[in-house]
Amino acid sequence: MEGNIVKKKSQNICRQASELVMQYRSLAVMSVYAVFYLIAFYYLERRDVAVHEINLGIDEYVPFCEIFIVPYLLWFAYVALTVVFLCIKDKEESDRLVAFLMAGMTIFIVVSAVFPNGHNLRPKVFERDNIFIDLIRHLYMADTPTNILPSIHVYNSVAVMIAVWRSRCFAGHMVIKTLMLALGASIICSTVLIKQHSMLDVLLALLLSAVMYSICYKRTVIRDKRVSAARIK
């Protein structure tokens, strides 16, 4: 008798766990993928290989602006909280966002593995000394200027901006959408203004975003065009 009760309780727990995973499947998939990504990135950062320098001439004209360390660091919460929020409130959009993120991050890992890259843009000496400079010093110590092509800060920011703009959760909330777009734009700018990335990293990340948008949102774009055409008629 007791054995049957325990068995039923176990079955109920398993069923509830399964339902929970399915309910928040995008978050579950992204969490598992994040472990793979971090392990792969850690390996790439620690391996000893020759690095292809990808500086562009235009990079020399981009000023160093330490205050942009703030949006650069906010990127982590910007992406993570958006994924969690959409997984709870808009599962259709969260599925597309997670697919978008995973595709680009996987391409980044592959590119870094077959084409080790880096830049030599970081300032040797800081002309000022303030809290923002201190944060940048810590960032430079923790993150090497290698494996930067394309910029994941830029790519993931674009992914979040697209998801927020398209999500039904933010329909009618123009202020929130504008603030999210502004933060995303400032994160993109921060990648070059604190010398974490070159302009080439940014440009290729934007190009990759455009390609992945056409793939991940293809059905949605076609559907939206049909709806617009029907309204015109």
Q: Which residues pair with 118 in a beta bridge?
A: 53, 146
Dist CA 44 CA 109 (whole Å): 8
What pLDDT is recorded for position 223?
Answer: 54
What pLDDT is recorded for position 14?
Answer: 47
CB neighbour class for 48 (10 Å; exposed up to 12, middle 13-18, buried from 19): exposed
Q: Is 103 helix (H, G, I), strand (E, B) or coil?
A: helix
Tens digits of pLDDT across the chain (233 residues): 555 555 555 545 545 445 445 556 788 899 999 999 999 999 999 998 999 999 888 999 999 999 999 999 999 999 999 999 999 989 889 999 999 999 999 999 999 999 999 999 999 999 899 999 999 999 999 999 999 999 999 999 999 999 999 999 998 899 999 999 999 999 999 999 999 999 999 999 999 999 999 988 876 655 555 544 455 55
Dist CA 107 CA 31 (whole Å): 18
What pLDDT is recorded for position 233?
Answer: 53
Check: CB of residue 117 under 8 Å from CB of residue 146: yes
Tokens representing 77 are: 């919460």
What pLDDT is recorded for position 21?
Answer: 53
